A and B are shown apart, each in its own frame.
Chain A
Amino acid sequence: MKIYDGGKIIVGLIVFVGLFTFPFVYNIGKANVMPEPKINTPAINELTEKKCVESKQFMRAEHMQLLNQWRDWAVRKGERVYVNSEGKPYTISLQNTCMHCHSNKKEFCDQCHNYMAVNPYCWNCHIAPKEKES
């Protein structure tokens, strides 16, 4: 069997295979560093029951949506109280509620955000907490 214009076709196929196997090649020799968000801050260690405003499962999947709702409620409607699924009230505030416990942005927020290459625009308006350079 003869291949016509084989040179050009093979160059094209090499480009095709190169593009589609790019992640495999790019990751050769690179260790898979998994994100490890840490919750050992002074405020959290003081808590008797280590619990966020909602369950861990919920926060993991929905925190961005919750924060967006909090923004709308607090900034646009002036509502400052959030009652969670257990009926417990919390003050709606990124700075004073979320970051009070999670005062370790670098070891908590940034862990997964950097891993997933997402760049939330929280800190365009809010002041990021001051942290000791580790």
Chain B
Amino acid sequence: MGPIFALFAVIALVLVAFVGAGVANLHFLFGVVIPYAAFAIFIVGFIYRVLIWWGSSPVPFCITTTCGQQETLPWIKQSKLENPSSTSGVIGRMALEVLLFRSLFRNLKTQMVEGTKLVYGEAKWLWLAALAFHWSFLVIVVRHLRFFIQNIPAPLKAIEGLDSFLQVGAPLLYISDAVILLAVTYLFLRRVFIPQVKYISLAADYFALFLILSIAGTGVLMRYFLKVDVVGVKELAMGLIGFNPVEAKKMQEIGVLFYIHLFLVSSLLMYFPFSKLVHMGGVFLSPTRNMTANSRMKRHINPWNYPVHVHTYEEYENDFREKMKGAGIPVEKE
């Protein structure tokens, strides 16, 4: 049921935008009000999740997970990135995690061979597809800045130039467009075809994939197949950025496909802080990744420890010294 439900949810979103902007002519709602609301919900919701939801949750133990030699005697070589004992080591490990998905790279598959033998093997496809998907998504987001600023700085132009350097067709084919569609399709198919993954997949997992796939799909359609007035799109975007929306007539001239794309992006922004997608911020707040593995050097104090009244032996002896002496029990202080 998961994938079917998620598919219909995304189709419903497309229909809402199609009817709203294409039939009912609610261009101001879909071109101005909803994008602003979505952006505000995204920013505020994200801050809420990071600061209130995670920031106020204390970490009781030093629960960093490691897979290398901890710092110990000088003649035993420490694995500085896998088991960092210093802040710079943690930064290195986080950089590997955030930029290259180090822990997905260690993904294993487990199989029974010849009935009785348990065999572990490498499983790098998830890592590869995840890396391809996230990086192409980032390139696409950065590329979209050309709609939101004037006189685009050289580094942004360089990214776009690299992304389109194959010079296929006109408008030029972006490599990231092809990569994101392939990668998201793989990430979806693996949820369907690998039984163990299918078993743990929920509608929310499929929904995020379908939503991103539909955003990339409508974008690709607009660029290469069913054209919209791209200059009109930028004028609308610049109007939003300058808090001076363009007039209704101009908004109507842009094709309905653009409003479907925009509504799907707005849905993604609104959905983002309250779904699994917020791992964008969460990855930085994962205690198993971002804590220093120095539990032998430094005591981790549980933040929710309250002061415990301790009755020491000294106090006990003070209370009962005379009685202890009377019973012939040896005491430390006479």
Contact = CB atoms under 8 A, between A and B. Distances in A.
The answer to whether A and B come from one shared complex is: yes
A4 B59 contact: yes
A90 interface: no
Contact of B242 (A4, A27, A61): A27
A4 B241 CA distance: 35
Given A13-B50, A17-B43, A67-B170, A35 B152 contact: no
Interface string B274-287: 00000001001100
Contacts of B156: 117
A117 B146 CA distance: 7
Interface stretch (B16-24, B199-207, B229-237, B311-319): B229-237
A9 interface: yes
Output the residue of A6, A30, A67 with the most chain B CB within 10 A.
A30
Interface of B is mostly: helix
A60 interface: yes
B163 interface: no
Nearest to A23: B148
Contacts of B161: 119
A89 B145 CA distance: 40
A1 interface: yes
B239 A32 contact: yes
Output the residue of B228, B241, B244 with the most chain A CB within 10 A.
B241
Contacts, number: 94
A34 interface: yes
Contacts of B58: 2, 4
B234 A4 contact: no
A112 interface: yes
Contact of B231 (A10, A16, A65, A115): A115
Contacts of A26: 149
Output the residue of A21, A60, A117 with the most chain B CB within 10 A.
A117
Contacts of A16: 46-47, 50, 281
Contacts of A30: 150
Nearest to B42: A20
A24 B237 CA distance: 11
A65 B170 contact: yes
B280 to A, nearest CB: 9
Nearest to A1: B56
Interface of A: 1-6, 9-10, 12-13, 16-17, 20-24, 26-27, 30, 32-35, 60-62, 64-65, 67-68, 112, 115-121
Given A12-B281, A30-B150, A64-B170, 4 more contacts: A23-B148, A26-B149, A65-B169, A67-B170
Interface of B: 42-43, 46-47, 50-52, 54-59, 145-146, 148-150, 152, 156-157, 160-161, 167, 169-171, 227-231, 234-235, 238-239, 241-242, 244, 281, 284-285, 303
The 7 closest A-B CB pairs, nearest first, are A61-B227, A23-B148, A68-B170, A64-B170, A117-B152, A3-B55, A117-B146
